[in-house]
Structure 1
Amino acid sequence: MLPPTQRLPQARVLIEMDRYFVLHAPRQTGKTTTLDTLASELNAQGDIAALMLSCESAKAAGDDYAAAESLLLDSLREAAEESGWPEKLLPPNPWPQSSPGSRLRAALREWCRRSPRRVVLFLDEIDALQGNSMVSILSQLRDGHNARPKGRPFPSSVVLCGLRDVRDYKVASGGVSDRSNPASPFNIVAESLRLGDFTADDIAELYGKHTQATGQEFTKDAVDRVHELTQGQPWLVNALAHEITFQMKVTGAVTCERVEEAKERLIRARATHLDSLVARLHEPRVKRVLEPVVAATLPQADPTFSGDLSYVRDLGLIKLKPPLEVANPIYREVILRVLGDPFEQYVMAEPRSFVLPDGRFDLPRLLQEFVIFWREHGEVLIQQEGYHEAACHIILMAFLHRLVNGGGHLDREYAAGTKRLDVLIRWPYTSPDGERLIQREVMELKVWRPGETDPTHDGLAQLDRYLDRLTLTTGSLVIFNRRPEAPPWHERGVFEHTTTPAGRQVTILRV
């Protein structure tokens, strides 16, 4: 593993300044490990008693803030007793008597009054607190913080660790979401730290440690491919390497091909981390942000959209900076696969029947089969898809996945506002002389929506740019007609052969 505290150098500075702050990042990015290591380093200094505890047990309390207080205090005592501290550093036993809604503040005050060291408190999984319990706990922390200038003892630093940014905790504790109220300890947006993803150098260092320990190398191309697929998301970086070295039991140097295989295995297995993301897809706030991303349209922004956008970013589903797109290629593939899963059962064609005698993939026949499929099922399936605006993209991707992914790979690129979805089919085959080759086929997907002009001209220009980037000479443009004046369903599916602005011969399919 990488040295945890090196990923968060600002935290140590803020703690030395006696600040209260938030550390947030998506799940399974290393927050808990980082804080646990930081607590150990602080305790080793000799002048700080740093304690980390999880708020997870208080989740069961819901709005019952008295029960939440009791559960948190139990967790605090248990964490302190397991720390190995001498008796003089432990919190009081029993806790001081106080009314519900003030017990945590009273307990921390009494502990800090007795402690010969400054107390630093890490509250992990702060998101577990709900409703009135969140309001009560954070209000008590705010009140204790604000009483410190009057000489009342209280932890010198408190770190709230969870998924969300600071503004959500400020609102829950009675503050406001802007940055103009310096009285609140949670009005510290500049010091709301986000644990970042790994850089390409971090991944190389992490995998290099594996090489030092075992002698097994990851080729540079493999490391670069891991960074490309994961964009440095820590769980994915570790999960790919674990899949390769422990599950697949690869010996010798790890290559790009092994990384690709591990990616497929992870996605098919839908590990807990990926399932936890998938479970969010139909939350209204998540759908509101992701639907235009998948549909490649512009979001309907209103005063509440920025809050939804912040929420989905904090979940780690989309990139932190514009353009609005999914955080990494693995998530991008998982999202479309999951949304398309219900439709694969309608695809009756046999995947191996699309393999030509020379081993290549028969894309023209696939498009012809899709026309038959679309005429028969398209109208009904569009109505069934919850991501209604993105239904055409999702259904075609489900069709492609069913027929291509058994022997080939699908790469998808999509983002809000681009008005297209780019698809690259990679199909490995063996030439007559035994050489291993990769067939590459490109498809550009467009939707002709009500009130818009025919997207053919733009689609051909976009297809040209995509082909340029991949150094290919031909491709296909698929245009879905969603206008009321579109042809009847049984007449949809017209093929045209045309030339792009750059002079390439391409196929247009209108469905």
Structure 2
Amino acid sequence: MLPPTPRLPEARALIEMDRYFVVHAPRQTGKTTALEALASELTAEGDIAALMFSCERAKSAGDDYAAAEEILLKSLRQAAEWSGWPEELLPPDSCPQAPAGTRFDSALTEWCRRSPRRVVLLMDEIDGLQGNSMVSILSQLRDGHNSRPKGRPFPASVVLCGLRDVRDYKVACGGDADRSNPISPFNIVTKSLRLGDFTAGQIGELYGQHTEATGQEFTEDAVGRVFELTQGQPWLVNALAHEIIIEMGVTGAVTAGQVDEAKERLIRARATHLDALVARLHEPRVKRVMEPVVAGSFPEVDPTFSDALSYVRDLGLVKQKPPLEVANPIYREVVLRVLGDPAEQYVMADPRSFVMRDGRFDLERLLREFVVFWREHGEVLIQQENYHEAACQIILMAYLHRLVNGGGQLDREYAAGTKRLDVLVRWPYAGPDGERLVQREALELKVWRAGKEDPLAEGLAQLDGYLDRLSLTTGVLVIFDRRPEAPPWNRRGAFDLATTPSGRQVTVLRA
């Protein structure tokens, strides 16, 4: 484990200034670990009683803020008892006799009045509070915060820790995320800190600890591949190492190829973290951001789009900074697999039948078979697809995944505004002398939309650049016709040859 507190360097300074602030990051990034370590360090120094407790159990209270108060106060007391603190530092062991909606405030006041130290409160899983319960608790914190200059005992610093940034708490409480409101419980928040992902150097440091403890090394290429696949997402970094060492039982030096195998195993197993993430894909705010990312189109931006984008970034699904694209290659693959799963159930072809005698994959035959599939099922599948704008890309990806994934791999590249989806098929096979070879086939997917020009010329230029980057001499351009005047479904699927601007001969499929 990396030292947790250096990942939040500003937190200690804000606490020393008696500030109230937010720490947010996606799930499984180390928020709880970092804040627990910070609380322990502060308490051990002797001047502060820093207590971290979870609000998660209060989720069951819903809008019942009286019940939420009771649950939080019990959780608060339990956390203090489990910390091993002496009696004089513990919060009250019974709920105060006060009206509902003021009991949390009253209990904190009584605790701070009795405590010989400054009290710092770190409220983890603050997202667990719902509706009126969230409004009540945060409003009580605001009231106590503002009464401190008048001599009222109250926590010197409060840290709200969860998935979301302050903007989303404002929305949850019925406020406008973009407007200042003097009575909002959020006008006391000084700053919002986001716990960042690991750097490549930190991954090397983390894995280096394993090497020191066991002697098992991670090659430089393996560490680089982990960073490339995860972009430093902490849960993924740890999960890949666990998969390699524990589940796969690798005992020698870990290689980049084993990292790739572990990635495939994680995705197939749909580990809890990945399942929790993709479960969000059909939420309206998430879909509004993710659909143009998958389709390669520009999102429709209006005054509410920034809130949706902020929410999706807080979930960790997309990168924190432009361009708008999925946060890392593992998430990128999982998103398309999940969205394409319904369409994949329609694919009846046998994957083994596409393996040629020399062991290579028959992409030409796959495309011909796809045309038959598209004519028969395309119209129905498009109508059923929730991500309607990206339906064509999702369906072809599902078809490819069903037939390629048994023996090969698919690498997918897509982002909002690119107007395309790039796919690389990697198929390992044995050469004439038994040597291990890898067949690579590149495809680019475009959509011809109503009112737009034929994307053939643009697609050829884009495919040219993709092939140049991959050092390939040929590829496939697939153009889906979504115009009202498109040919009837039983006449779609024409193949043609075309030349890219640099002179490469490529196949064009008009679906």
TM-score, normalised via structure 1 length: 0.98
Which residue in the other structure is 1:471 paired with? 471
Which residue in the other structure is 1:160 paired with? 160
Matches within 5 A, 1:241-320: 241-320=241-320
Residues 175, 14 of structure 1: CA spacing in aligned structure 2 closer, same or farther, 3 A cutoff?
farther
The 3-state SS of whatever aligns with 2:447 is strand
Q: Which amino acid aligns with 1:290?
A: M
TM-fit CA distance, 1:188: 6.7
Q: Are 1:132 and 2:168 an aligned pair?
A: no
Residues 399, 190 of structure 1: CA spacing in aligned structure 2 closer, same or farther, 3 A cutoff?
farther
Cα contact 2:225–2:259 (8 A) shared by 1: yes
Distance in 2 (CA, whole Å) between partners of 1:190 and 1:153 is: 20
Q: Are 1:425 and 2:425 an aligned pair?
A: yes
Cα contact 2:70–2:95 (8 A) shared by 1: no
Which ranges of structure 2 fall in alignment gaps of 5 or more residues? Answer: none
Cα contact 1:138–1:169 (8 A) shared by 2: no
Distance in 1 (CA, whole Å) between partners of 2:226 and 2:179 is: 38
Which residue in the other structure is 1:337 paired with? 337
Distance in 1 (CA, whole Å) between partners of 2:79 and 2:318 is: 35
Q: How many residues are aligned here? A: 511
Distance in 2 (CA, whole Å) between partners of 1:155 and 1:179 is: 27
Cα RMSD, aligned residues only: 1.4
TM-fit CA distance, 1:169: 2.9
Q: Are 1:503 and 2:503 an aligned pair?
A: yes
Percent of residue pairs bearing the same amino acid type: 80
Distance in 2 (CA, whole Å) between partners of 1:470 and 1:336 is: 22
Residues 169, 345 of structure 1: CA spacing in aligned structure 2 closer, same or farther, 3 A cutoff?
closer
Cα contact 1:179–1:188 (8 A) shared by 2: no
Q: Deviation per CA, 1:215-253, whole angstroms, max 9, x where unpaired?
A: 111111111111111111000000000000000011101
Cα contact 1:464–1:502 (8 A) shared by 2: yes
Distance in 1 (CA, whole Å) between partners of 2:409 and 2:298 is: 28
Distance in 2 (CA, whole Å) between partners of 1:104 and 1:190 is: 22
Which residue in the other structure is 2:368 paired with? 368
Cα contact 2:464–2:500 (8 A) shared by 1: yes
Distance in 1 (CA, whole Å) between partners of 2:421 and 2:322 is: 17
Q: Are 1:114 and 2:132 an aligned pair?
A: no
Matches within 5 A, 1:82-93: 82-93=82-93
TM-fit CA distance, 1:303: 1.3
The 3-state SS of whatever aligns with 1:191 is strand
Distance in 2 (CA, whole Å) between partners of 1:184 and 1:374 is: 54
Residues 422, 171 of structure 1: CA spacing in aligned structure 2 closer, same or farther, 3 A cutoff?
closer
Which ranges of structure 1 fall in alignment gaps of 5 or more residues? Answer: none
Cα contact 2:18–2:156 (8 A) shared by 1: yes
TM-fit CA distance, 1:272: 0.5
Q: Which amino acid aligns with 1:353?
A: S
Residues 173, 153 of structure 1: CA spacing in aligned structure 2 closer, same or farther, 3 A cutoff?
farther
TM-fit CA distance, 1:168: 2.7
Distance in 2 (CA, whole Å) between partners of 1:93 and 1:362 is: 71
Distance in 1 (CA, whole Å) between partners of 2:189 and 2:314 is: 14
92-101 vs 446-455, which moves further: 92-101
TM-fit CA distance, 1:189: 6.9
Residues 422, 23 of structure 1: CA spacing in aligned structure 2 closer, same or farther, 3 A cutoff?
same
Residues 337, 175 of structure 1: CA spacing in aligned structure 2 closer, same or farther, 3 A cutoff?
closer
Distance in 1 (CA, whole Å) between partners of 2:137 and 2:23 is: 17
Cα contact 2:123–2:159 (8 A) shared by 1: yes
Cα contact 2:448–2:481 (8 A) shared by 1: yes
Which residue in the other structure is 2:210 paired with? 210
Distance in 2 (CA, whole Å) between partners of 1:298 and 1:189 is: 34
Q: Which amino acid aligns with 1:315?
A: L
TM-fit CA distance, 1:82: 1.2
Cα contact 1:54–1:123 (8 A) shared by 2: yes
Q: Deviation per CA, 1:300-328, whole angstroms, max 9, x where unpaired?
A: 11111111111111010011111111111
Which residue in the other structure is 1:483 paired with? 483
Q: Which amino acid aligns with 1:114?
A: R
Q: Which amino acid aligns with 1:442?
A: A
The 3-state SS of whatever aligns with 2:44 is helix
TM-fit CA distance, 1:203: 0.6
TM-score, normalised via structure 2 length: 0.98
127-136 vs 86-95, which moves further: 86-95
